[in-house]
C-alpha cells in the first residue's frame, strides 16, 4: 500500500516537471509532491513498515547407521520447507539412493518429502542423502498479517494430545485475563504471564522440549516448545484460535555454521485482523525485545511445518508425531532411529 502511494507521488512529481506546468499551476503543487515523497519515506523508516529480509542456504545431511549392505525396504519422511509469502524456497536439490515424491498431511497441509530406498542401492554405513535449498525469509509483523487462515479455524481451538484446553488450563487463563478487554489485551496478558513465570531451561529432558502444557505449568521451565505449547493451551481455552509453527533459528551474528537445535513459535487469530505471531521464549531470553516479539517475528528463521500430532501417510509404525522437524525413518515397516542429521546454513 505504501509503495503504491509513493509511486503516485512520484507520478505527480513527474507531471509537475513537464514543460509549461509551472506556468499553469502554482509552485505549491510542485512542492506538495516533494512533501508527500519525503514524508512517506520518513514514515516507512519510523514505523519499520518495510520488513527486513535475509537470504541463506540450508544443507541437511542424513546418514543411516548400522545398516547391512543391500538393506531394502527403507522409507524416510522429511519436512519440506514452507513456501509462502513470508518464505520463498528455491533451488531445492536432493542427492541420494532414494526415489522421492512430495506428499501433504491432511490435517495441516504440511508438505512432506517421502523417500523410498532404491533396490540394492544402500551400502551399509555409507548410506545417506543430502538436501540443499535456498531460503529468502522476511520479517513478519502486524502490518503483514495473514488475512486468511487458509484452513478452518475450528481445528485451532481444539486440544492436541499434550496441549489441553479445559480444566486447570481454562481456570488459569480466566484468572490471568480477569478484567481485560478484547482478545488482543487478553493474549498480551497471557504472553506477559508466561515471561514472568517461566524460566528458559533445556537441561532436563524429562520436562524440557516435550511441549506438554501441564508439565510446563507444573515445573515452570522449558524451551520454546514448552513456552508455546502452554501459550496455545491458554489462548485456545478462551476461544481464541492459536497455532504452532516449527523450524530452525538462524544465528543473527553469524554468516554460516551448524544449526544445533530446532526453534518454534506461535500465532493467534484476531477477527478481522488475521494471524498475529509471538515468540515468547526469545522474548524471555532477550527482555529488550519483549514488545517486539509480541506481534512480530524476525527474519532469522526457517519454517518447516505447522501443528502437532502429525500423521505421516504410508508410515506403518508411527503414531502421530508430537511435532515434525527432524526426519522419521522406517526399516521393514518398523521405526528406525539410528540415523544422524547434520544441518548447516550459509548466508548468501
What does the domain layout of the chain look like in residue ranges? 2-47, 53-137+313-347, 145-298
Of the candidates 84, 65, 83, 87, which has an alpha carbon nearest to the alpha carbon of residue 74? 65
Percentages (nearest 5) of helix, strand, coil residues in the chain? 30, 30, 40
Question: Residue 138: its pLDDT value, please?
Answer: 96
Per-residue pLDDT tens over the stretch 132-160: 999 999 999 876 665 555 678 999 999 99
| Alpha carbon 158 to chain centroid, angstroms | 20
pLDDT confidence of residue 150: 64
For position 71, what pLDDT does the model report?
76
* DSSP code per residue over 135-185: EEEE-EEGGG-BS--SS-GGGGTS-BTTB--STHHHHHHHHHTTT--SHHH
The pTM for the full model equals 0.85
Pairing status of strand 221-222 against strand 199-200: parallel
Q: Domain spanning 53-137+313-347 has what CATH number? A: 2.60.40.2250
CATH of 145-298, one of 3.30.365.10, 3.30.470.20, 3.10.620.30, 3.40.50.720: 3.10.620.30
8-state DSSP, 271: T
Residues of the chain with pLDDT under 70: 1-49, 70, 120, 123-126, 143-150
Structure confidence at residue 273 (pLDDT): 84
* CA-to-CA separations, 187 to 113, 198, 237, 267, in angstroms, rounded: 35, 16, 11, 11
Amino acid at each position: 500500500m505504501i509503495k503504491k502511494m509513493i509511486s503516485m507521488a512520484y507520478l505527480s512529481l513527474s507531471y509537475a516537471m513537464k514543460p509549461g506546468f509551472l506556468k499553469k499551476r502554482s509552485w505549491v503543487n510542485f512542492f506538495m509532491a516533494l512533501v508527500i515523497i519525503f514524508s512517506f519515506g520518513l514514515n516507512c523508516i519510523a514505523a519499520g513498515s518495510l520488513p527486513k529480509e535475509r537470504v541463506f542456504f540450508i544443507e541437511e545431511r542424513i546418514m543411516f547407521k548400522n545398516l547391512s549392505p543391500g538393506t531394502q525396504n527403507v522409507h524416510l519422511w522429511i519436512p519440506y520447507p514452507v513456501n509462502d509469502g513470508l518464505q520463498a524456497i528455491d533451488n531445492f536439490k536432493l542427492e541420494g539412493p532414494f526415489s522421492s515424491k512430495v506428499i501433504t498431511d491432511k490435517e495441516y497441509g504440511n508438505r512432506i518429502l517421502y523417500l523410498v530406498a532404491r533396490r540394492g542401492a544402500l551400502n551399509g554405513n555409507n548410506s545417506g542423502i543430502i538436501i540443499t535449498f535456498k531460503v529468502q525469509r522476511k520479517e513478519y509483523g502486524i502490518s503483514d498479517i495473514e488475512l486468511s487462515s487458509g484452513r478452518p479455524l475450528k481445528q485451532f481451538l481444539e486440544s492436541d494430545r499434550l496441549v489441553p484446553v479445559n480444566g486447570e488450563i481454562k481456570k488459569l487463563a480466566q484468572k490471568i485475563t480477569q478484567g481485560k478487554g478484547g482478545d488482543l489485551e487478553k493474549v498480551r496478558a497471557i504472553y506477559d504471564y508466561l515471561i514472568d513465570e517461566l524460566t528458559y531451561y533445556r537441561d532436563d529432558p524429562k520436562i524440557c522440549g516435550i511441549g506438554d502444557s501441564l508439565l510446563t505449568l507444573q515445573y515452570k521451565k522449558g524451551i520454546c516448545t514448552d513456552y508455546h505449547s502452554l501459550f496455545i493451551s491458554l489462548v485456545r481455552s478462551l476461544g481464541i484460535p492459536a497455532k504452532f509453527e516449527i523450524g530452525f533459528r538462524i544465528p543473527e551474528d553469524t554468516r554460516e555454521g551448524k544449526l544445533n537445535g530446532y526453534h518454534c513459535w506461535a500465532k493467534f487469530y484476531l477477527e478481522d485482523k488475521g494471524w498475529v505471531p509471538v515468540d515468547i521464549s526469545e522474548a524471555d531470553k532477550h527482555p529488550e525485545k519483549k514488545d517486539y516479539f509480541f506481534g512480530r517475528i524476525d527474519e532469522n528463521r526457517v519454517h518447516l511445518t505447522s501443528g502437532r500430532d502429525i500423521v505421516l501417510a504410508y508410515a506403518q509404525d508411527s503414531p502421530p508425531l508430537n511435532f515434525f522437524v527432524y526426519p522419521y525413518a522406517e526399516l521393514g515397516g518398523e521405526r528406525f532411529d539410528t540415523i544422524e542429521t547434520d544441518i548447516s546454513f550459509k548466508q548468501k
